[in-house]
């Protein structure tokens, strides 16, 4: 008696539980590869957008002009541009209130930037837990399918009148496919998760550095405007006296 040990035949002849395990692993693998491709595009775009905006920001352009240009663009504002927009909007709003001191104005702008920065990082981290879950659970799911398949193979062997290697080999082979599929799903997911988590940390550090530098610029502007206002009031008082 001969057995067809081709890959697809082994899957078709596997028990229902093992087939369900293989189907689950295949779906997890497809989902993780979708996340891998999507995150590669999103993180690459975020890095390029940050590079371009930093070039514009440090080119010596007036902040009001840069704010007007970002605010007018038709595309959705995200990343470092969104952080800048939120901070400068809050800065202008608070600065227009005569009772606000420079420290409060800058502090309010920093809070607005941090809130926007957190939302942008949440967007970058979206779906990364799926990679972590796939990488950590797929080998165990595959091992469960393997154990179940080998258990059924030995049960069938135990009731056979004549036990031969040819009888048990197909059952063990189809069971081991589950382990192979678990590793196939887990290894790319683990590698991608580690890489993308590092990339998100790098982008987060860039956002944090930009927020600190921008806050320092706003603080200098706020104190300069306050000094100019105080000087103007003093000159007016002298002129009236």
pLDDT, tens only, 49-92: 999 999 988 888 888 888 888 888 878 888 899 999 999 999 88
Q: Where is pLDDT greater, at 193 or 11?
A: 193
> Look-up: residue for tokens 């988590």?
197
Q: Cβ(95)–Cβ(223) under 8 Å?
A: no
Residue for token pair 């930037």:
113
The neighbour count for residue 106, using CB atoms within 10 Å, is: 26
Highest-confidence segment of 83-87, 170-174, 177-181, 224-228: 83-87
* CA 63 – CA 88 distance, rounded (Å): 8
Number of folded domains that form the chain: 1
Q: Does 71 reside within a domain?
A: yes
Write out the residue range of the structural domain in which residue 109 sits.
7-240
Q: Is 2 part of any domain?
A: no
Tens of pLDDT along 16-32? 888 898 899 999 999 99
Mean pLDDT (the chain) is 82
Q: Give the global pTM.
A: 0.80
In a domain, 55, yes or no: yes
Say which range, 38-52, 136-150, 201-215, 219-233, has the weakest mean pLDDT: 219-233
Is 79 contained in some domain? yes
pLDDT at 134 over 90: yes
């Amino acid at each position: 008696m001969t057995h067809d040990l081709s890959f697809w035949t082994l899957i078709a002849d596997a028990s229902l539980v093992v087939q369900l395990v293989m189907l689950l692993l295949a779906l997890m693998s497809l989902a993780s590869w979708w996340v891998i491709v999507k995150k590669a595009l999103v993180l690459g775009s975020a890095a390029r957008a940050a590079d371009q905006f930093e070039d514009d920001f440090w080119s010596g352009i007036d902040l009001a002009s840069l704010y007007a240009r970002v605010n007018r663009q038709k595309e959705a504002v995200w990343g470092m541009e969104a952080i800048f927009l939120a901070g400068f909007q809050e800065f202008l709003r608070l600065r227009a209130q005569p009772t606000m001191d420079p420290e409060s104005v800058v502090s309010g702008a920093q809070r607005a930037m941090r809130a926007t920065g957190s939302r942008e990082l949440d967007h970058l981290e979206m779906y990364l837990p799926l990679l972590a879950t796939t990488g950590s659970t797929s080998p165990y799911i595959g091992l469960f399918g393997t154990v179940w398949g080998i258990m059924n193979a030995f049960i069938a062997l135990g009731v056979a009148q004549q036990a031969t290697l040819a009888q048990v080999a197909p059952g063990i082979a189809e069971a081991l496919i589950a382990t192979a599929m678990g590793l196939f799903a887990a290894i790319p997911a683990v590698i991608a998760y580690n890489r993308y988590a590092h990339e998100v940390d790098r982008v987060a550090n860039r956002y944090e550095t930009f927020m600190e530098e921008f806050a320092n610029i706003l603080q200098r502007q706020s104190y300069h405007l306050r000094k100019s206002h105080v000087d103007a009031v003093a000159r007016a008082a002298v002129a009236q006296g």
